[in-house]
Amino acid sequence: VTVLVVLISAASLSETIRNYRSDLLMKKGYDAAIRNKFEPAYHLLNKAIVLNEKNLPAHYQLGYVHFNTGKYPEALEEYKLVKKWVPYYRNINFNMAYSYYRRRDWKNALNELEIVHKIHPQYKPALLLLAYCHYYTYQPKKALQFCNQLLDYNNRNEKALVLKTKLETILSNHTRS
């Protein structure tokens, strides 16, 4: 019995140390990523994940690194992993939506943005992305709705103002024909 307790304690201590080292590597990877040092961040975050495959912040940050280096499929894989554990977290859903958007996968981008919009209806980046996705899927009325909603919060948003002008032109041409 004593040997079993010692073995369990040693295994538990070993796991605790491994998780601690994983967390330290994740923090170093995060620091590198926010300073746009993506290559070192990539290696640090991968080491963190090797030590603890359930290190969700490391997967999230690795998704961020992949996204910022244009590797959208890889970013999505990391974000999907985190989403399994935290299905309704605004940042995960938004980052997934933006990754899909960059791949021109409007349907999946809209699905994720709908979740973001339910969680946080005033989230300005999501409102703009919703407007653009609806614009690209030929839904000008819906796009204009999200543009106007964003402009209610920030009437100087240049991207929204430009898109609104395009949408109003499309809608006025459509009603004339």
Q: What confidence score (pLDDT) does residue 176 get?
A: 72
Residue 142, number of CB atoms within 10 A of its CB: 17
Report whether 67 contacts 95 (CB < 8 A): yes
Q: What is the mean pLDDT of residues 76-104?
A: 95
Q: pTM of the predicted model, to two decimals? A: 0.86
DSSP state of 53: T
Q: What confidence score (pLDDT) does residue 14 get?
A: 84
Q: What is the mean pLDDT of residues 84-108?
A: 95
128-172 per-position pLDDT tens digit: 999 999 999 999 999 999 999 999 999 999 999 999 999 999 999
124 has pLDDT over 90: yes
Q: Residue 65 corresponds to which amino acid? A: V
DSSP result, 129-176: HHHHHHHHTT-HHHHHHHHHHHHHH-TT-HHHHHHHHHHHHHHHHHHH
Q: What confidence score (pLDDT) does residue 56 get?
A: 95
- How many angstroms separate the CA atoms of 102 and 90, rounded? 18
- How many angstroms separate the CA atoms of 20 and 171, rounded? 57
5-64 per-position pLDDT tens digit: 544 565 587 888 999 999 999 999 999 999 999 999 999 999 999 999 999 999 999 999
